[in-house]
A and B are shown apart, each in its own frame.
Chain A
């Protein structure tokens, strides 16, 4: 075990180095920049064989990644916010051409007004793009999931691009002690990429042909099937990873859910705060819990049902707004996932932390108390709670 002090961005860069990625093509954007800065130093110092393509935009970053991935290379990119928005067209093409590109996203609010701080509006706007999406809680998780990401994305039954999300600044720029694996352990775990096909000119193929109404549908269905394979592959990969790293991962992490009456569902760094508050409240005899999905796409419906089937009230925290929708994106998914239960828990939506607005333990306590009250009385607020909003 080697503990090193790394920010979330540095932890991702370290994992990419150990993964022996062939190509990193990226464009700098706050708060992702440290990932590509660190990585370009590895290249400059000859620590990696990687080709670092210092492109002129995020659109070209992902375009270069798609080209590189089709050759059979292992490929990484990174972005945030406006950069992810500029990539939007290419996100769908990367998944449609089945390129297992791994992307680090230091989540940041979208303009306007311009803001450089953390929220999930960037990735939530891309949630239907066919990318597997993972949300990390801290630098350790960002490191571990970046390694797991290559394993998962490149699996023969998946072959899909994957984003590892970490909250901008809160994780991307905060230094923590990160337990990093030995290089050799990573090499053993990841192996080299074994693509089912490549554009090797000695075996000519046509990739990216025009598909009219007679075939397009079937290509999309294959992506649906690949997404459906993710949970099984993830479980297997996490089991293997536990063997070498000793850390336990899966589709989600449940805390206190064995007896919780009320619980919070949230993504990323907020889960740490929620867990601490839950611990304190549980010490006071209040039965509360936390569900932290690591995997957001595909949505781990079975695991969500299993974790929340005994709970009476759920507060779902969204760090992004879905303008005009009945709920935020995460809450909509939770409501849909639990709809089939005979007795679905009462669910309310909390929108918080937009543009990096800080969330305090006292804020979380307000949410838990409201959820506990709803669990006891069986009635629940209908309107969205805007937590931490200025009066």
Chain B
């Protein structure tokens, strides 16, 4: 794990961008840049980070950065990786370029999963980072395949009959790992050293790598922007968001939470779950979420011990 002293003081992601106060994506962008090892191109999907960091004629990026569309960051990255390899074959290029695709959970779990699956299957040497803020935040908080059960979003609103999103979150890392890729991991920006180490690892492996990093969204999660990092730490401490990695199919738990806090603590800190507490205390839904958290933790533990 990387230490604070080992981190570069160079800021390749500049301040002055227009992301919200407390947004996880700005923090994640900056940390990601700290993990680079050389010439790098970032491929961004459409989303908050793209919209708020590159408003023409300004940019926050001191590395080459490309945005093409919403659903295709992995496909664009494929083209870039293979183009440099082809140009090297004809002697027109002689340097290695690291390519990192960055997309939200909308661009990853949902509309972009086909392009991601194709790129993973083809085995291009690139890293894919999903900023997982658990909904389409850029368009105003609509539910995604990453939105947790019970969350109130504008397309899964908490109503008098349905208490928020009825479905459960997709297992993105399981889906990616099933492609037989080199490396897949989850991360939380509250554990910066773990995240930066994982980004570096994802860059270094020879082949595709995927990181799903939990990204707090004060607007969408409806929490105090000063508590963003605290919340994504609580997500880990409650076992709501387990931190693990899958190296060539082998699962490894990176942060063991031996005495988990109840998931209720994580839920009650956010407005998106407020309807589970007021006007009526929905113990049934909260218990259901707790059961799911426990089952998911046990499932991952089991995968880790199977190695």
Residues on A lying within 8 angstroms of B by beta carbon are 20, 22-23, 25, 49-51, 53-57, 59-61, 63-73, 75, 89-90, 93, 97, 192, 199-212, 215
Contacts of A71 in B (CB 8 A): 80, 83-84, 87
Pairwise interchain contact B118-A68, C-beta atoms closer than 8 A = no
Contacts of B80 in A (CB 8 A): 67-68, 70-71, 199
Measured CB to CB, the nearest residue on chain A to B91 is A49
Residues on B lying within 8 angstroms of A by beta carbon are 39-41, 43-44, 50-51, 54-57, 59, 61-69, 71-72, 74-80, 82-87, 89-90, 92, 95, 97, 114-115, 117-119, 121-122
Pairwise interchain contact B82-A210, C-beta atoms closer than 8 A = no
State which of A23, A56, A199 has its C-beta within 8 Å of the C-beta of B82. Answer: A23
Pairwise interchain contact A55-B75, C-beta atoms closer than 8 A = yes
Q: A201 to B77, alpha carbons, bound, how many Å?
A: 14
Interchain residue pairs A-B with the least CB separation, the first 5: A67-B79, A56-B118, A64-B79, A208-B67, A60-B75
Q: A108 to B32, alpha carbons, bound, how many Å?
A: 46
Measured CB to CB, the nearest residue on chain A to B97 is A201
Q: A340 to B92, alpha carbons, bound, how many Å?
A: 50
Pairwise interchain contact B86-A73, C-beta atoms closer than 8 A = yes
Pairwise interchain contact A200-B64, C-beta atoms closer than 8 A = yes
Q: A60 to B69, alpha carbons, bound, how many Å?
A: 11
Closest Cβ–Cβ distance, residue A71 to chain B (whole Å) = 4
15 contacts between A and B (CB under 8 A): A22-B87, A23-B79, A23-B82, A63-B69, A63-B76, A64-B79, A67-B79, A68-B79, A68-B82, A71-B80, A73-B87, A192-B92, A201-B39, A206-B54, A206-B59
Closest Cβ–Cβ distance, residue B126 to chain A (whole Å) = 10
Pairwise interchain contact B55-A210, C-beta atoms closer than 8 A = yes
Q: A285 to B121, alpha carbons, bound, how many Å?
A: 65
Pairwise interchain contact A215-B69, C-beta atoms closer than 8 A = no
Pairwise interchain contact A204-B56, C-beta atoms closer than 8 A = no
Pairwise interchain contact A67-B64, C-beta atoms closer than 8 A = no
Contacts of A25 in B (CB 8 A): 78-79, 82
State which of B41, B50, B56, B82 has its C-beta within 8 Å of the C-beta of A211. Answer: B56
Pairwise interchain contact A204-B63, C-beta atoms closer than 8 A = yes
Measured CB to CB, the nearest residue on chain B to A64 is B79
Q: A208 to B84, alpha carbons, bound, how many Å?
A: 20
Q: A51-B86, A59-B115 are in contact. List 10 more A-B contacts (CB 8 A).
A: A22-B87, A23-B83, A51-B82, A59-B75, A64-B82, A65-B79, A71-B83, A73-B83, A201-B97, A207-B66
Contacts of B95 in A (CB 8 A): 202
Q: A196 to B115, alpha carbons, bound, how many Å?
A: 29
- The verdict on A204 contacting B61 (CB below 8 Å), with A63-B79, A68-B80, A73-B87 known, is yes
Pairwise interchain contact A90-B69, C-beta atoms closer than 8 A = yes
Q: A234 to B114, alpha carbons, bound, how many Å?
A: 39
State which of A22, A60, A205 has its C-beta within 8 Å of the C-beta of B118. Answer: A60
Closest Cβ–Cβ distance, residue A86 to chain B (whole Å) = 11
Pairwise interchain contact B86-A50, C-beta atoms closer than 8 A = yes
Of the candidates B51, B82, B118, the one having the most CB atoms from chain A within 10 angstroms of its own CB is: B82
Contacts of B50 in A (CB 8 A): 208, 210
Pairwise interchain contact B65-A204, C-beta atoms closer than 8 A = yes
Measured CB to CB, the nearest residue on chain A to B58 is A209
Contacts of A64 in B (CB 8 A): 75-76, 78-79, 82
Pairwise interchain contact B56-A215, C-beta atoms closer than 8 A = yes
Pairwise interchain contact B69-A206, C-beta atoms closer than 8 A = no
Measured CB to CB, the nearest residue on chain A to B18 is A210
Pairwise interchain contact A206-B82, C-beta atoms closer than 8 A = no
Pairwise interchain contact A212-B83, C-beta atoms closer than 8 A = no
- The verdict on A51 contacting B122 (CB below 8 Å), with A64-B75, A192-B92, A199-B64 known, is no
Contacts of A201 in B (CB 8 A): 39-41, 63-64, 97
Q: A209 to B79, alpha carbons, bound, how many Å?
A: 19
Contacts of B97 in A (CB 8 A): 201
Q: A180 to B238, alpha carbons, bound, how many Å?
A: 69
